[in-house]
Amino acid sequence: LSLQVEISEPEKYSLTDKQVGIDVGVADLAILSNGLKYPSFDSSYFEKKAKIWQKKYSRCRHLVKLLVLQNKNKRVLCPRSLESFTNWQKAQKSKAKCQAKVANQRRDYLHKLTTHLVKQYDVIIIEDLKTKNLQKNHHLAKSIANASWRIFRQMLEYKCEWYGKKLIAVDPKNTSRICSKCGYNSGAKPLE
């Protein structure tokens, strides 16, 4: 099925003559240059539920595999396949629902935040971070993935384009070392 739909261009927001720089982080998703902080999305409740369902799913699947092997070893006339057991499939669906709910809530939070930022500011400046390289740090990988920096930036890009605002990506090299006012390079900083 192929559909063609005509949509009107999105309504342009009024210009505010404001500029802002955004620093993304793990504890706070976005820290603005004017001091405002937006916290990261908290998905702990649904992650706990997904872990519980993951345990149930793993246990059910293990038991099902054992039963299938027993049927195969005993050479039963009508051996059951993995698909004939429904308990582990129910657990798998429940686990998938929890994970999908977390993803949808995170996406909704990011949409609301990016729309708010685009309405407020005409020029938005953000670091051009390579999240794939940062996720190689196994201590921070889950927190970085949960923060969804890449999706945050992509949403800002297309919303700025839609509403006639400007997004500038800055090379992150030495941004935390060089003072923005006087240009002094203070050297390497510890992670904390």
Please check whether residue 57 lies inside any domain of the structure: yes
Number of domains composing the chain: 1
pLDDT given at position 136: 66
Is the pTM for the entire model greater than 0.75? no
Q: What is the pLDDT of residue 132?
A: 61
- 175 in any annotated domain: no
* CA separation for the pair 107, 44 (Å, rounded): 15
Specify if 187 maps to a domain. no
Instruction: Report yes or no on 185 lying in a domain.
Output: no
At residue 174, the pLDDT reads 67
Which portions of the chain are predicted below pLDDT 50?
none
133 lies in which domain range?
A: 19-170
On whether the CB atoms of residues 98 and 48 are closer than 8 A, the answer is no
Residue 73 belongs to a domain: yes
